[in-house]
């Protein structure tokens, strides 16, 4: 597969020992709260997209300065940059201001990316490798349940038990979404776009956080929730995810797959059934903090270490 | 062409997203985090939330970065 080439992270020429991490995010983001807590507020400048009205930004040919409250940061003060869901939700009632602010934030990220200071993920990284591209590539590494994406197609390409999913994950109508659910493919109205896949009668979900070559696996017993889609239940309370050891051969497959996609970070979802691990997708901007909120399993520490301003730029080992 | 049995649409397969009404939070510039009124947030770390916000199937508001 000819994956879109993403510039590889390059180490900066030097890292100031008093530099900070610029966290471009949203003031309501709980994962960013966790990062700030563990990095130390003094080591972070948090640029919140939704607080743009109180934020001062000055960029010209030779300088960049961002200020919020009594705090300010200049370009040379930034050791690392983390983009973490800065555009979750609308940030302004004024569409023009919203577009301009988004543009500015993306460009701030771009300026630092050229300087090799960005870690973890990129803005809108799914636009470079969405579910369809991922599944086609994944067949070189994993078992992938047979799938089909159709539009204005009345033929039922999949037989037996089939689930329907959303590609974009956007709301179908106000307040309603399409969770993964079993359907009769012959009953799908053909004029709509459909993403269907063979149903895997799985014993457990497996999710793996990939971080610069390291992997952190967690499993969820499917008997712990009703239906096929654990996401439908996750907002009502924590589900009993358990840390899982991954065999070396499987970790090597993940590394190969992520290397092909040129991703340094992501959360991969799998289903386990009858001794076979089936790939579902990788989310290159996937949430992770709920898997290790207390720092018991090494994931929290690994991410904090990767984004801390006083550690070397992370690289795939 | 739809046959007589091709009746399933995204609209009639969709289910209500689980809305979360969060308490008002105050952004603390010093701590660089939002301060809430005693609400435990750990169970909500999966999502990025907002006040009176509903979420899609990945637990994200519309018009957001890809995430879940």
What is the residue whose two structure tokens read 């550690």? Answer: A311
Axis-axis angle for helices A30-39, A299-307 (nearest 10): 70
Summarised one tens digit per residue, pLDDT across range A65-90 is 999 999 999 999 999 999 998 987 77
| pLDDT of B56 strictly over 50 | no
B26: contact with A, CB 8 A cutoff: no
Distance from CA of B45 to the nearest CA of A (A): 5
The answer to whether residue B3 sits within a structural domain is no
Distance from CA of A293 to the nearest CA of B (A): 7
Summarised one tens digit per residue, pLDDT across range A256-276 is 999 999 999 999 999 999 999
Is residue A19 within 8 A of residue A72, CB to CB? The reply is: no
| pLDDT of A10 strictly over 50 | no
B13: contact with A, CB 8 A cutoff: yes
Least confident of A82-91, A209-218, A243-252: A82-91
| pLDDT of B68 strictly over 50 | no
Query: What is the tally of structural domains in chain B?
Result: 1
A183: contact with B, CB 8 A cutoff: yes
Give which of A314, A316, A264, A219 is closest to A15, Cα–Cα: A314
Give B-chain residues touching A192 at CB under 8 angstroms: 9-10
Q: What is the reported pLDDT for B60?
A: 44
A68: contact with B, CB 8 A cutoff: yes
Q: How confident is the model at residue A234 (pLDDT cuts 50, 70, 90)?
A: low
Distance from CA of B35 to the nearest CA of A (A): 10
Q: What is the reported pLDDT for A191?
A: 92
ipTM: 0.76
d(CA A283, CA A188): 27
Q: How confident is the model at residue B67 (pLDDT cuts 50, 70, 90)?
A: very low
Q: What is the reported pLDDT for B4?
A: 58
The more confidently predicted of residues A171 and A251 is: A251
The more confidently predicted of residues B6 and A242 is: A242
Joined together, the tokens standing for residue A40 give 């130390």
Chosen for mutation from A151, A174, A189, A218 (greatest number of chain B CBs closer than 10 Å) is: A189
Q: What is the reported pLDDT for A219?
A: 95
Q: What is the reported pLDDT for A134?
A: 96
A105 in helix, strand or coil? helix
Is residue A45 within 8 A of residue A66, CB to CB? The reply is: yes
Other beta carbons less than 10 A from residue B21's beta carbon? 9
Joined together, the tokens standing for residue A61 give 């040919």
The answer to whether residue B1 sits within a structural domain is no
The answer to whether residue B39 sits within a structural domain is yes
Give the contacts of A198 (CB within 8 A, at least 6 positions apart). A145, A146, A147, A158, A160, A161, A162, A163
Question: What CATH fold (topology level) applies to the domain A130-137+201-283?
Answer: D-amino Acid Aminotransferase; Chain A, domain 1 (3.30.470)
Q: What is the reported pLDDT for B26?
A: 83
A170: contact with B, CB 8 A cutoff: yes
The more confidently predicted of residues A292 and A124 is: A292
Give which of B20, B57, B1 is closest to A28, Cα–Cα: B20
d(CA A103, CA A95): 12
Residue range of the domain that includes B46: 17-63
Give B-chain residues touching A33 at CB under 8 angstroms: 33-34, 41
d(CA A68, CA A49): 12
Write down the mean pLDDT value for chain A.
Answer: 88
Domain borders along chain A are 20-119, 130-137+201-283, 147-198
Give A-chain residues touching B46 at CB under 8 angstroms: 234-235, 287, 289-290
Give the contacts of A24 (CB within 8 A, at least 6 positions apart). A47, A49, A81, A82, A83, A84, A86, A105, A108, A109
What is the DSSP pairing of strand A176-177 with strand B15-16? Answer: antiparallel
Helix H or strand E encompassing A221? strand A214-221
Q: How confident is the model at residue B18 (pLDDT cuts 50, 70, 90)?
A: low
């Amino acid at each position: 597969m000819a994956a879109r080439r993403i510039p590889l992270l390059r180490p900066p020429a030097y890292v100031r020992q008093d530099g900070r991490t610029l966290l471009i995010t949203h003031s309501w983001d709980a994962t960013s709260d966790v990062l700030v807590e563990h990095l130390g507020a003094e080591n972070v400048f948090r640029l919140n997209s939704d607080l743009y009205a109180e934020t001062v930004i000055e960029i010209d040919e030779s300088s960049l300065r961002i200020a919020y409250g009594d705090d300010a940061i200049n370009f040379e003060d930034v050791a690392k940059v983390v983009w973490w869901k800065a555009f979750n939700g609308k940030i302004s009632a004024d569409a023009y201001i919203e577009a301009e602010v988004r543009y500015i934030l993306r460009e701030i990220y771009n300026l630092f990316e050229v300087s090799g200071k960005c870690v973890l993920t990129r803005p809108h990284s799914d636009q470079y490798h969405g579910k369809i591209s991922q599944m086609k590539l994944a067949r070189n590494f994993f078992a992938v349940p047979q799938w089909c994406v159709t539009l204005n197609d009345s033929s039922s390409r999949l037989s037996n038990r089939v689930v329907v999913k959303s590609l974009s994950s956007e709301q179908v109508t106000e307040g309603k979404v399409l969770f993964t659910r079993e359907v009769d493919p012959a009953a799908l109205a053909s004029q709509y776009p459909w993403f269907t896949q063979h149903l895997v009668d799985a014993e457990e979900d497996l999710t793996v956080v990939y971080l610069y070559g390291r992997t952190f696996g967690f499993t969820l017993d499917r008997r712990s929730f009703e239906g096929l889609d654990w996401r439908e239940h996750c907002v009502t309370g924590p589900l009993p995810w358990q840390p899982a050891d991954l065999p070396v051969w499987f970790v090597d497959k993940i590394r190969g797959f992520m290397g092909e996609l040129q991703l340094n970070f992501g959360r991969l979802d799998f289903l386990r059934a009858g001794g076979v691990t089936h790939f579902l997708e990788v989310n290159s901007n996937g949430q992770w903090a709920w898997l290790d909120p207390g720092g018991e399993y090494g994931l929290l520490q690994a991410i904090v270490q990767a984004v801390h301003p006083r550690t070397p730029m992370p690289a795939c080992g | 062409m739809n046959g007589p049995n091709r009746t399933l649409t995204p609209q009639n397969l969709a289910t209500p997203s689980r809305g979360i009404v969060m308490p008002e939070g105050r952004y603390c510039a010093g701590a660089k985090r939002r301060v809430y009124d005693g609400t435990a947030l750990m169970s909500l770390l999966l999502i990025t939330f907002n006040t009176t916000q509903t979420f899609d199937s990945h637990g994200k508001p519309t018009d957001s970065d890809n995430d879940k």
